[in-house]
């Protein structure tokens, strides 16, 4: 019969044994008469808490996931869920529907010049690109456009903006993406379109609503927000 040591020499068991030895460390527990019991390693008390699990997931497993931008508690969960699925390239664009086995022609309803995908629709489409350029503040900015929507979210930094500008900045990706998605659905399901100018006004109005609802001290009138947009960021 194999000794426990010999069993541990098989490749799978060797790695398990190594992990166990690592956990035990240089101060193995001493033998006593107490019964074995489970201990939760993420708390000092050894008791399980949801908070410790959440913190562990957020801080280690999720890595550099842009959680603050993606799961802003001031934004409705429906819109946050859309942002999350868009970031993961899981929204129901035509290319993703085709991957699920649907047989359909693929064309972007906003420009009719390329196939519809998350990155195209939300980032590179001619129509969407104009929206992004109109919303991004113009003074002092020279911003290369990322290759993917996920990279756009990752590179979304508010350095050098005014206090009010930083507040607006944190809502801009969500407001633009959600509005472009709604415009896309309006075109497909209702046959109606908004010009990029009209959508631009709608997005600024939405941003004003979000910021006003979030920060009660924000008193800037909607007119200034819409027609003197750049002044908010300097
Ligand atoms: Zn397009």
Q: Ligand 1 centroid vs 151 CA: distance in angstroms?
A: 19
Q: Ligand 1 centroid vs 170 CA: distance in angstroms?
A: 25
Mean pLDDT of 23-29: 74
pLDDT at 190 over 60: yes
- Say how far apart CA 213 and CA 197 lie, in whole Å: 24
Q: Ligand 1 centroid vs 119 CA: distance in angstroms?
A: 10
Q: Ligand 1 centroid vs 159 CA: distance in angstroms?
A: 30
Per-residue model confidence (pLDDT) at position 41: 86
pLDDT at 140 over 70: no
Per-residue model confidence (pLDDT) at position 143: 63
pLDDT in tens, 79-115: 999 999 999 999 999 999 999 999 989 999 999 999 9
pLDDT at 11 over 80: no
3-state secondary structure 123-192: HHCHHHHHHHHHHCCCCCCCCCCCCCHHHHHHCCCCCCCCHHHHHHHHHHHHHHHHHHHHHHHHHHHHCC
Q: Ligand 1 centroid vs 138 CA: distance in angstroms?
A: 23
Q: Ligand 1 centroid vs 20 CA: distance in angstroms?
A: 54
Q: Ligand 1 centroid vs 121 CA: distance in angstroms?
A: 6
- Say how far apart CA 172 and CA 132 lie, in whole Å: 9
Q: Which pTM was predicted?
A: 0.73
pLDDT band of 142, cuts 50, 70, 90: low
Tokens matching residue 151: 């990279």
Per-residue model confidence (pLDDT) at position 7: 52
pLDDT in tens, 32-59: 788 888 889 888 888 999 999 888 877 7
Q: Ligand 1 centroid vs 129 CA: distance in angstroms?
A: 9
Per-residue model confidence (pLDDT) at position 1: 47
Q: Could you tell me which residues come within 8 angstroms of residue 49 by beta carbon, excluding any fewer than 6 positions away?
A: 40, 42, 43
Mean pLDDT of 212-232: 86
Mean pLDDT of 159-176: 88
Q: Ligand 1 centroid vs 168 CA: distance in angstroms?
A: 26
Q: Ligand 1 centroid vs 184 CA: distance in angstroms?
A: 10
Q: Ligand 1 centroid vs 169 CA: distance in angstroms?
A: 25
Q: Is the model more confident about 72 or about 28?
A: 72
If you count them, how many residues does the chain have? 234
Per-residue model confidence (pLDDT) at position 200: 94
Count of other CB atoms within 10 angstroms of residue 120: 21
């Amino acid at each position: 019969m194999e000794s426990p040591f010999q069993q541990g020499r098989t490749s799978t068991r060797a790695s398990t044994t190594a992990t166990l030895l690592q956990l035990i460390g240089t101060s193995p527990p001493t033998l006593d008469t107490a019964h074995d019991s489970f201990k939760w390693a993420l708390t000092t008390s050894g008791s399980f808490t949801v908070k410790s699990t959440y913190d562990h997931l957020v801080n280690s497993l999720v890595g550099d996931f842009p959680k603050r931008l993606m799961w802003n508690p001031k934004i409705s969960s429906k819109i946050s869920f859309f942002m999350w699925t868009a970031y993961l390239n899981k929204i129901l664009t035509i290319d993703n529907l085709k991957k699920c086995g649907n047989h359909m022609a693929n064309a972007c309803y906003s420009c009719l010049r390329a196939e519809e995908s998350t990155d195209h629709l939300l980032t590179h489409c001619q129509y969407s690109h104009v929206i992004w350029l109109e919303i991004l503040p113009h003074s002092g900015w020279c911003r290369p456009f990322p290759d993917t929507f996920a990279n756009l979210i990752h590179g979304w930094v508010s350095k050098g903006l005014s206090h009010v500008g930083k507040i607006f900045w944190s809502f801009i990706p969500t407001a633009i993406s959600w509005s472009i998605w709604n415009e896309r659905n309006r075109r497909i399901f209702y046959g109606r379109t908004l010009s990029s100018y009209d959508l631009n006004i709608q997005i600024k109005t939405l941003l004003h609503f979000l910021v006003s609802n979030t920060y009660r001290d924000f008193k800037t009138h909607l007119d200034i927000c819409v027609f003197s947009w750049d002044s908010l960021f300097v």
